[in-house]
Structure 1
């Protein structure tokens, strides 16, 4: 009797929980080394699911931006074929996985056999569909917040453009931080806006990347060599302009 009730409870629980998640890693993406590849898993079906993107195979372990989001970005530097995996899990621990490929470079395109592919997440069948959208151009810059009594660094992506006049989406992220820094991408205020900022927590060199997306294709700009110097109480430099604890910055850009 107890076993029958337990079986019935298990059956009712399974029915109440509904179907598990469905994973979709999107179409294959094609482009050149150094470009930003958009991986679109937004067709995966399940409310409240968690997403995990990973590089399963390829000529290098290329960086992934937003690897825990439905839409992620691959930044390959080496030519070749990359296999990307997406795992979608629900609150009950039920998971489903899917894969897609990023085909990087002319040699990889000649050697790979693929059907309907996409550039930056937009599907196309032949050259006709490919030419309908022009990729945006990302442009990033940085400056110190004038008069700020903190190490606030302003980030500006408003110079980014789209040849088609499409509305752009923005994503700022750190690529490198100085030793001792505890900052993460979440510490970039308004990191999905053209104008963002972060408060440096230590002196050193910060590198950031801006990814812009027009809904079909993407582009990125690396803001490298951003040297931040936090002023101390006994630092005589710019004492009349900068308060202790604020920052000066230098950049090669």
Structure 2
């Protein structure tokens, strides 16, 4: 992981070629743009995930950061979803929105953050949903900066498996500096070790297996240096707390490979609308603030060893009771042609009446009340299969949501509904009307003769 100092504002383009000992790769480039004033924030959409179909997927954008320590806003969007999926984000402006992976296949979600002046470059995360066994996800841990001859412990314990199967680990050093004799000890355990015996970069690769299938590989870069090495910030673990709690942020796990004393710089980069939370001492190793409003708080930590800043580290604090989403969304809409049942689920402001309508005709279909978390769920029999739906509540209208399973001739189909009581009543009504019509249509002469 080479470094350079961008000493003049402008764009720097760096190219990379890798070689496996036999052939060179195609060239890849990265552009670094610097300005004399504000720097663009960096979006982090979180790690890729593997989940079961119909799982509720929690995204995590709290790893996003800003070098100027400005407050951030979040803008999530769906780039692609499997064919037939009706997945919708619960709240696209939240730090950690969610969605239901209702079909098997890949879901690609994009995050852009803004520091009040400029947008970040987009970052994406891929969620793979499967109906059977899902592949595990390897996590080789954070990059490290160390001194030459340091003993390094890699950590794969953050690797996961959606099916909760036991994992096995296979580590390899896929890159090391010229002249290094470094080898991994205990390469089939979660935490192998090696000695960084030469200055330069060491690349550790991890693949995990759930007993059925391998994960995609994940890598970690360990940089050993002979001069001053940049410190590493650690903002602590995410927390979920009650409103009214005073939170103590803990940066004491931050470290410096050279053993230099550290200074701390904490910032609240995101807090709920209406919150007046302030950090008690932003330059202490343990800063604190009062959680005064329900929602998500993101704190960023940068440490300095007297010479250079660390990369930012972040931690997210969520309240146990989350505020209602400000918008309204239909997360699932599915049609069952055999029963004529329409299943609709989504979110809207708490305690409101949600009206579901045919998106094309505006015809009301059903209403429901949201629960305390703003969720609604309906199972309703309809006479005609709609093509798409919208939801309305409190003057808000959701985006048009296509109905999964709707026939090509949607809007004109009347499915068989053997258990439909309304149809039975309608048939009885028609039968009674026919009998009345027959009685009334008899001629007065015939009626008089019968009266006699």
TM-score by length of 2: 0.27
Higher helix share: 1
Specify the structure having the higher radius of gyration (Cα).
2
Instruction: Tell me: higher relative CO, structure 1 or 2? Use CA pairs within 8 A at least 6 residues apart.
Output: 1
